[in-house]
Amino acid sequence: MLLSGKAKKGRKSRRPKFKYPLVWIMWDDASVDNSWVDPEHLQIDATPNVTTGFLIKETDNHVVVVSTYSNEFWVNAVVQIPKGMITARGVI
């Protein structure tokens, strides 16, 4: 089932209730620079990202967010983020 719960008869629901929580995750990604660099002048910059989607799985080490789910068995655009890279998160 894509949605859970129903609006009471005669009342419009402001937002549907989804099977999975809709979340935002802020995280710092790894990066690679393949050019030759003098270590004394190496610049280290954060690579911040924001991912939004449905939180379908969480383990001790990772969260898994998808952009789309069509039923209880199919998901699309799966993003697996190591928890050590997460800087902030919340429910939408």
Structural tokens at position 37: 């660099």
Which pLDDT tens digit goes with each residue over 63-81?
A: 999 999 887 679 999 999 9
Extents of the domains making up the chain: 17-28+46-92
Predicted pLDDT of residue 29: 94
Asked whether residue 4 carries a pLDDT value surpassing 60, the answer given is no
Please report, for residues 2, 19, 50, 58, 66, the alpha-carbon distance to residue 5 in angstroms, rounded to integers and kept in the order given. 10, 9, 29, 23, 21
Calculate what percentage of the chain has a pLDDT beyond 90.
Answer: 60
The 10s digit of each residue's pLDDT in 11-36 is 666 777 788 999 999 999 998 888 89
Residues 77 and 67 sit within 8 Å (Cβ to Cβ) = yes
- The span from the first CA to the last CA of the chain, in angstroms, equals 20
**What pLDDT is stored for residue 66 in this prediction?**
96
CATH of 17-28+46-92, one of 2.30.30, 1.10.4160, 1.20.120, 3.40.50: 2.30.30
Per-residue DSSP letters for 46-58? --EEEEEEEEEEE
